[in-house]
Chain A
Amino acid sequence: MQTNMSSQAKSGRSINDAFASHFAKSVFLTIVGLAVLTFIGTRMFTHIDLNLYGYMVGTIVFIGGFFYRFIAWGERPPTKNIIKKGLKLLFRRNTAKTAFNHLAIFDFIRNRGVYRWIQHILIGWGCVLACLVTFPLVFGWMYFTMEENGYYTIVLFGMNVMKVNAEGVIAFFSYNALNIAAVMVIAGVCMALYRRLKNMQARAEQTFIYDFLPLYMLLFVSITGLLLTFMNIVMHGHGQPIMSLIHQFSVIVTLIYLPFGKLAHIPFRPMSVLARNYREHYGEQSMKECKVCGDKFVSIEQSNDVIQVLGINDIEFEMKEGFHLAELCLPCRRKYRISRFSGFPTHQIKVKEANQNAKG
């Protein structure tokens, strides 16, 4: 991501000239990165699990799709502003805390509703857990070797990390990580489906393809995954090869679909950390004073950015009183509009706006 945000290539001989576009370069670098990691991880391609190569292809298509979406999106002027400035501020002291709150414990979702928070924790962390196990296995970054003595060695990036007892707790969690993840995701998806079927508001707004399809896909992935385990243990591997294919298919389709549907909000969520940094940093630097009442209501930077973005869209809110509407605080801007309707300068009257909250 870093690379594609780096400033425009200087004209002349730069490595960037080798690529058709920023997009091409980013995809290229990502795939090279994956290949290098895989090369190291598999001890020079000696430990590749070829059963898993379908996933590899799926992942690479996913990366293409993701970059395509991300770049199409990052080209929009407001998005570009936040990404560029947000990335520059990435090393602020608060980044870790914000990232933890936004990306690990989803505190803002808890404030939106506990039910949906639990659902997000289950699905989110279930998926993360599954990815943490699956991808290293697929690309050979992690694998297990078994020796005679009943101990497994976990090999991470070609290094023996630890020996675990094949009967022990760690081993149990390692084999069953995917099953645990599947159960979490199934529970979360069921909660989401229940809400979508029962909650009148959700029912009024949802559409089948956009809101249900991702849920059914997650369910499909988790259930076929669990069935694999079931077939291994209970049916002694009977039917396992075919189920394995079905499971692979489900994962690949989900991966390819991910950047294009509702699930795209997962890879794009880190933007909220950038946005928070942007607001905090420029807010500390200098605040804009409302041109009418003098209240500080937003950072000067953001006010200017918004004015510039609107300008690109041919939206000019320059008033004959000599201010841009984005330079008024919200109550003054509303009162100014009332004054335009009524012909009376409501915004000039020094009185706090009446209570606008219906709950009193």
Chain B
Amino acid sequence: MKKRLYLELENCIGCRSCLAACTQCGGHEQRNRNYVYDVNPFVNRQTMPLMCLHCVNPACARSCPAQAIQIHETGAVLSALVEKCIGCQNCTIACPYGIPKFDTEQNLMYKCDMCIDRSKDGIPPMCASVCPSNTIQWLSDEEIEAKQRQFNLNNGKWVTSMPYLEGETNVKVNLPGILQGVTKLF
């Protein structure tokens, strides 16, 4: 069954396990490709992870002159093909979320590839495997629907991606508690 990445941003406790796990994925060469941000650093400790959302119509790939960014059949938008990337950095400028990273020495862009060696066989990506707070989950579409029912968000505030993102994405994002004003138990 096809599963996808699902983020419940507000669960994040800022442990940055996902960053550490990202470095350990094959092919990531010890460098993480995701981010964790403080929402309001001077006031509280709320953090949120940010990573490539694997756009259905990815701006990064559309702007790449070398066709170095390929879209995998699972929908994952892959990191630049090492032999093709010509180092122009268009993709870093195009991505609406500022995700792709660029290595000047290697003249190469690298970005989240959804740990394609794992996820193509249905194994969750590294970040989802380690997240201790259930912020990053690996769910089937049915399970995501069940979530929607569980949070009973028929108030139009179910933020799975649209219209809060710039386009349809393969990763689904949600913020059930903050939007409902509900305190969650975990």
Contacts from A to B (Cβ < 8 Å): 73, 76, 78-79, 81-83, 102, 108, 111-112, 200-201, 204-205, 262, 265, 268-269, 271-272, 274-276, 278-279, 298, 302-303, 305-306, 309-310, 313, 315, 317, 325-326, 328-335, 337-338, 340-344, 346, 349, 351, 353-354, 356-359
Contact residues of A: prevailing secondary structure: helix
* Contact A275/B86 with A344-B40, A358-B23, A359-B23 known, Cβ cut-off 8 Å: yes
B63 engages A108 (CB within 8 Å): no
Chain A neighbourhood of B94, CB < 8 A: 306, 309-310, 326
Q: A225 to B132, alpha carbons, bound, how many Å?
A: 59
B65 engages A271 (CB within 8 Å): yes
Q: How near does chain A come to B102, taking the closest CB pair, in angstroms?
A: 9
Per-residue A-contact encoding for B31-66, CB less than 8 Å = 1, 0 else: 110011111111000101010000001010011111
Chain A neighbourhood of B27, CB < 8 A: 201, 204-205
Closest to A73 in B: B67
Chain B neighbourhood of A79, CB < 8 A: 65-66
Beyond A78-B62, A272-B107, A326-B94: 13 further Cβ-contacts under 8 Å? A73-B67, A82-B86, A108-B106, A201-B27, A302-B89, A315-B57, A328-B98, A341-B173, A341-B175, A342-B9, A342-B48, A349-B41, A354-B38
Chain B neighbourhood of A330, CB < 8 A: 92, 98
Closest to B120 in A: A204
A265 engages B83 (CB within 8 Å): yes
Q: Could you say which of B32, B50, B95, B116 contacts A357, with CB atoms under 8 Å apart?
A: B32
Contact residues of B: prevailing secondary structure: loop
B side interface size, CB within 8 A? 61
Chain A neighbourhood of B167, CB < 8 A: 315
Q: A200 to B36, alpha carbons, bound, how many Å?
A: 29
* Contact A334/B90 with A79-B65, A200-B26, A340-B164 known, Cβ cut-off 8 Å: no
Asked if B162 lies at the interface with its beta carbon under 8 angstroms from chain A, I say no
B36 engages A354 (CB within 8 Å): yes
B65 engages A78 (CB within 8 Å): yes
Chain A neighbourhood of B159, CB < 8 A: 341
Q: A344 to B98, alpha carbons, bound, how many Å?
A: 18
B86 engages A342 (CB within 8 Å): no
Closest to A288 in B: B93
Q: A73 to B65, alpha carbons, bound, how many Å?
A: 8
* Contact A276/B57 with A108-B107, A317-B96, A354-B36 known, Cβ cut-off 8 Å: no
Chain A neighbourhood of B93, CB < 8 A: 298, 302-303, 306, 326
Chain B neighbourhood of A269, CB < 8 A: 86
Q: A269 to B83, alpha carbons, bound, how many Å?
A: 9
A112 engages B106 (CB within 8 Å): yes
* Contact A78/B106 with A298-B93, A328-B98, A338-B50 known, Cβ cut-off 8 Å: no
